[in-house]
């Protein structure tokens, strides 16, 4: 009789344990998932503060220097319409003046307006009139010009390219 009573108590304890485990899964797991999602969202916001939308590191406002290139006319790629199309574009390079190679780069850029614009011209001439009027393509053009300039001058000091003037015809 004693063995049967112990078996019944062990069975009852196992059933209570099973019920508590089921409650644990259905009660605690949803809140754990919500907490995990919250932590993921906070981490993504912190990453946004460390990097800009295009993946480039952000630069403090006091460390921004600009270098402007005068607007010039660039022939666009033939789109088959029989008309010649042009774009008048001026560039502004945003530089990080806290970068270690800033001083040497700005010295090189002072006399290099032509070579800088030539890099931009090489990129822009690969696009048609319709493509350059598309805003997403313009952002792609800026990224290509930025990559080309960073590669040419072997620097990450140039971190953004923007158009100071952009007129198509």
pLDDT tens, N- to C-terminus, the chain (169 residues): 677 889 999 999 999 999 999 988 888 888 888 888 888 888 777 765 545 555 555 666 677 788 888 888 888 887 777 788 888 888 888 888 788 887 888 777 887 778 888 888 888 888 888 888 888 888 888 898 888 888 888 888 888 888 888 888 7
- Structure tokens of 108? 């090189």
CA distance 167 to 169: 7
H or E element that contains 106: helix 102-110
Task: Residue 74: name the closest of 91, 94, 95, 49 by CA.
Answer: 91
- The per-residue pLDDT for 60 is 67
168 with 86: CB under 8 angstroms? yes
Contact criterion met (CB below 8 Å) for 92 and 70: no
Angle at Cα 110 formed by Cα 105 and Cα 113, nearest 5°? 105
pLDDT tens for each residue of 85-124: 888 888 888 888 788 887 888 777 887 778 888 888 888 8
Question: Got the DSSP string for 107-168?
Answer: HHHHT-HHHHHHHHHHHHTTS-HHHHTSHHHHHHHHHHHHHHHHHHHT-SSEEEEEEEEEEE
The pLDDT assigned to 56 comes to 56
Return d(Cα 161, Cα 7) in angstroms, integer.
Answer: 78
pTM given for the model: 0.62
Check residue 138 and give its pLDDT.
84
pLDDT (0 to 100) of residue 101: 81
Q: Kindly state the tokens that stand for 143.
A: 């990224």
Residues with Cβ within 8 Å of 88's Cβ and at least 6 positions away in sequence, in order, are 71, 72, 73, 74, 165, 166, 167, 168, 169
Predicted confidence at residue 48, as pLDDT, reads: 53
Angle between helices 113-124 and 135-153 (to 10 degrees): 140
Give the up-direction half-sphere exposure of residue 144: CA atoms within 13 A in the CB hemisphere: 16
In this prediction, residue 18 carries a pLDDT of 94
């Amino acid at each position: 009789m004693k063995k049967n009573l112990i078996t019944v108590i062990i069975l009852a304890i196992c059933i209570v344990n099973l019920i508590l485990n089921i409650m644990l899964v259905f009660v605690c797991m949803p809140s754990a998932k919500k907490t995990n999602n919250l932590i993921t969202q906070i981490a993504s916001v912190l990453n946004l503060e460390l990097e800009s939308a295009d993946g480039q590191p952000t630069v403090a406002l006091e460390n921004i220097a600009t270098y402007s290139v005068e607007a010039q006319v660039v022939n666009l790629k033939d789109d088959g319409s029989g008309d010649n199309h042009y774009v008048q574009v001026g560039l502004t390079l945003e530089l990080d003046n806290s970068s270690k190679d800033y001083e040497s780069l700005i010295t090189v850029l002072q006399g290099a307006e032509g070579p800088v614009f030539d890099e931009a011209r090489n990129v822009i001439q690969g696009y048609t009139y319709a493509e350059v009027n598309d805003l997403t393509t313009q952002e792609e053009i800026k990224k290509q010009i930025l990559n080309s300039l960073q590669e040419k001058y072997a620097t990450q000091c140039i971190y953004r390219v923007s158009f100071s003037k952009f007129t198509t015809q």
